[in-house]
Structure 1
Amino acid sequence: MRQQGGGGEEGAPTGPAGEVIIRFLDVGQGDAILVQSPEGKSLLIDGGRSAERMRGHLEALNLTALDLMVASHADADHIAGLVPAAALKPRLFLNNGLGGTTQTWERLVSALQDAGTTFAKASNQTVNLGSVKLRVIAPPPGVGDEQNENSVGIALQFGDFRALMTGDSETPETEGWLAQDRADLRGPFQVYKSIHHGAANGDSAAWLANVRPENVVVSVGTGNTYGHPTAQALNLYKQAGARVYRTDRQGTVTFRGRADGTYTAETER
């Protein structure tokens, strides 16, 4: 399925050429987002819980190199698939600075060290992925040391096209970000990834009123035992007037954004 969206003004100044491609990969109950700039630079945010499934995606997309890897946090459903992706030798790895305690985390760190990757902690820095600007959203102070509440966000900008991905952030983290009154988190965003797979403790009316998403992508597994996405979350997206995509029903969801703010959306099924 293919849909058009957004709209720039006729005669408006032109921005960067080409398209930024954002793929919300179907990895079951987990997150994995691949971003590719018009120049061919690539970013992988999270990798899902299956190394085999991620390996299949990388092979199908003929991806042979990776410029940047981000782990929103260290839970297994976000980092297991990053282990095979480390073979693509990302130049930089960003995370929240809280190391995981699992063997999966240890395998990821070892694979990245073998690849010669540079490690960095999220600190509200800006990273350029070719002509795509990535604003790294560090966890706000005072959220404790639980992994979900320390999720790293990425606010992407390509001209007038914007997308926001914030891992498994829960209410204390989004409230902390709202208290900071950050311009890089104020909408509208053409594309927004549902927090925590549509859990009840993720998105809120206040947060969505700030983000103002046009499209929400829920990365979720078929028949998952968590009840994701919850009716509460889906109702919030409806109230926000957002179009909802779900990887459990539509497979991989791909957005192609242009600098004038227009975009196309494609689903696998």
Structure 2
Amino acid sequence: MRLRIAAPEGPLYAPLLSSPAPREVVLIRTSEHHCAQLLATSQVEVAFLSPLAYGQASQTTEYRIIPASALALEGYTERVWLAFRPGLRTLRRCIVPAEAHFLPQALRLLLLELYDLEPELLPRAVTQEVDALHDADAVLSWNETHTDFPRLDVGEEWYTAFEYPLLLGFWVCRGEELPSTLPHLLLSLARSALPAIESVREASPIPPLPPRHGRIHWRWNQILADALQQTLTLLYYHGLVPHIREVTLWDASSP
């Protein structure tokens, strides 16, 4: 039997999916939201889900987290930016990538927590920040950055606000029998020599400030398990998920 796996498109997730898929794997690259739908309807055996998709699943659906590759931003990571129109006085309209599902909601909670702001979020295909900022006050982006725009590192701001990493995704399966080699197989899809944790240091700090720094988690660990539990609690508090789902891990001996 071939293993069907759904993973989100986009450069943000590319390091986790840069190697050729083995012959026994059918890898489906699609939108973040569609990944969740495919797993919920048993059209795939495994999907890369955000905390929001994991938390929104029916409580009767038995989901298990596969301890393999993952993606989380801890502090300054230069991966997700919120760029502002020059001369901005207030934030009313913010363009967010149309293919994203969780990050726009994470941004909304972040702006509410730190600045008591609730801008209108406008889903759109974001190709260049400079074009998007003609029509809005800010743009959430990971495709392109322009250093002459005022901007925030979203991973850094999240960690400042909530004191745990911004967990973007992890592998999930349903409660059914799957190959015992599944974690190894998922790890094999990642870029060669991708570290479990990647340190990031600001290359061009603004004197006299010291360089900012952070970490990217590319593999599931206890830090991410704790971050998921806290994220699910936050999403529940704001009415974005109907319940606080348990953080349940998959293992080969418990199909």
Largest Rg, 1 or 2: 2
Shared fold (TM-score greater than 0.5)?
no
TM-score w.r.t. the length of structure 1 is 0.28
TM-score w.r.t. the length of structure 2 is 0.29
Higher relative contact order (CA 8 A, sep 6+): 2
